[in-house]
Structure 1
């Protein structure tokens, strides 16, 4: 290989059609027998999207998770009415602070759950219909980078507030909302802002919670309707995986070539994408975790994008790829905790540089805890 070839940066062409075809509601009806039972709610009201994108959000009172609606004095239902008295008391305590805020943000209306009441009710109903515990996502991304904020360090949501908190905290969700077409070659004369503002029918996906073994999740890279690489999804070393490598490879290959590729090629005209699959024991069926566009927005995990793009997909050979696992020789490369760059709030970073700010942060945290207890 010449020096010029080493210096070449391999480009990836991805179209808007491919990205939209990887939206959950596009492929779920085709492959729902191979993934978790889901509820897709769309289109989402703009008020809800603005709520998710705001710097801070106001959650409904914790005691209003119960889906049974309360009848008020006007014989109208409300599922957050119980918390209004507590909110009123809190408002009186902080009246001076609010007046200051109103002076600076007089023209800014804070978005609350009341602004998307119908959607709020649909989410509660969806959680109940799916067994009481779900994992949320938008069209393409799940808020895995925000799981640090949950007590059990997962994206399992038992209550509607869990969903709001995860989605608002996640950088992955922000990326879905603000940069849905990253990597698309824009037409000449059209700038990035116009492209981002192109209408996308956003959807909220609630998936039935399944307690999966992360050791048995794998990422499959598919290009020109051929597997070009399979990587272990969880970057921890599991000693027993090496003895199962051949069996895992055979099961994934069979599922991809016999089911996945024919369905997506025929129904969605997709010939390149990335699919995360779960292969639980006794390895008799593969399940789809997610399907993503074939672009650098997705991590290549144990590969590099450069080496993936150099794999020859011409010819009839379906075995021209490698299944890579984390082993004793490469485990040191992945000592960094996954999504760690998203796990420290900016408030904490700022406060760590200022002792007085740290005291104020602790006070605010105590106030929030007391409010939640009420």
Structure 2
């Protein structure tokens, strides 16, 4: 994998080309001071001071008695240590505020490549839904997965010359409450040919996906008409969402291999696929309860996980595959259900 292939998957690079077939997104270049704020872990966890008086936790229950625990009383001997002042990013905050308003006041946020999926727990809703700049800052500051974008985006490149991109960007995407997880799919492109499709949410069995042949036709047509000749890499992945009227929307692009999760495939399987016009696209879904995979929303890129033979992940996957084969071959499966 090359640096240019990783760079093409940055949202500020691909979104302008695919704007008409994606979800509405507004993108802001981040000041270097905000990037430094995200990387700084030397002091206490501080949220930026809001010039708009916006609360990072607007739905919290205010309890003044709890706040008294953090106040330093006079004569405690700590007067000589001045507490650090919270940072402030007034220009960025006002730009973000305007964009959030134009996106119906609720957004999903991400950096060049990644979203702060590992810090959803810290929000009042338990999701990545944001309505203010300080909510975004809270999710970003609490996230470990964003460290990938900030420090390790090029670690898997065989021509690595950069430690980080020149600029970082904040992408604000319109929030849709009704998105159905079973209608999200990851598509694998090798040699500029669609070779595989995987159910994106692999932790659940969705009976609706039994109509996967119809879904395959929709995704294949979308790829041929909107993606194949417009994305410049030969090997890559892209995520799509199929809405109720059967239109397909591209959600994201990711490099082939490296930190991209292969989901119901393995990268070894995908690398061995022969690219030919006769080769059919393999569409994998969770078809049995025992084929459900664990939640792989980790705080590190996929290639940082220990998946080598004999590792815990390797043994888990082997056991799951053996159980699936046993149940599918047994004539008694389902007889007692």
Q: State which of 249, 256, 271 in structure 2 corresponds to 1:287.
A: 249
Q: Is the 8 A contact 1:113 1:120 kept in 2?
A: no
Please list, as runs of the form range in 1=range in 2, the aligned pairs for 1:194-343 lying within 5 A after superposition. 195-196=162-163, 199-211=165-177, 212-235=179-202, 236-242=204-210, 244-264=211-231, 269-283=232-246, 285-313=247-275, 315-317=276-278, 319-328=279-288, 330-332=290-292, 334=293, 336-339=294-297
The answer on 1:134 being equivalent to 2:104 is no
Q: Which has the higher helix share?
A: 1
Q: Which residue of 2 aligns with 1:38?
A: 25
SS of residue paired to 2:140: helix
SS in 1 for 2:230: helix
**Per-residue CA shift, 1:65-91, capped at 9, x if unaligned?**
29xxxxxxxxxxxxxxxxxxxx9xx76
Alignment of 1:75-154 (within 5 A): 93=73, 110=84, 112-114=86-88, 116-154=89-127
CA distance in 2, matches of 1:293, 1:25: 15
**Structure 1 residues 123 and 184, CA gap change in structure 2 (3 angstroms):** same
- Give the whole-Å Cα distance in 2 for the aligned partners of 1:254 and 1:98: 67
**Secondary structure in structure 2 of the residue aligned to 1:276:** strand
Q: TM-score, normalised by structure 2?
A: 0.76
8 A Cα contact 1:51 1:111, kept in partner? no
Structure 1: state its 5+ residue gaps: 1-13, 67-86, 103-108, 188-193, 343-374
Is the CA contact 2:47–2:134 (under 8 Å) kept in the aligned structure 1? no
Cα distance change, pair 118–251 in 1 and its aligned pair in 2 (3 A)? same
Partners of 2:22 and 2:268 lie apart in 1 by 30
Report if aligned partners of 2:190, 2:235 keep a CA contact under 8 Å in 1: yes
Q: 1:231·1:303 contact (CA, 8 Å) conserved in 2?
A: yes
Count of residues in correspondence between the two structures: 283
d(CA) in 1 for partners of 2:74 and 2:114? 37
**Closer/same/farther in 2, CA of residues 240 and 47 from structure 1, 3 Å limit:** same
Gaps spanning 5+ residues in structure 2: where?
56-66, 301-337
* Displacement over 4 Å in runs of 4+: 90-102
TM-score, structure 1 as length reference:
0.69
Q: Is the 1:36–1:210 Cα contact (8 Å) retained in structure 2?
A: no
Q: Could you say which residue in structure 1 is the equivalent of 2:47? A: 58
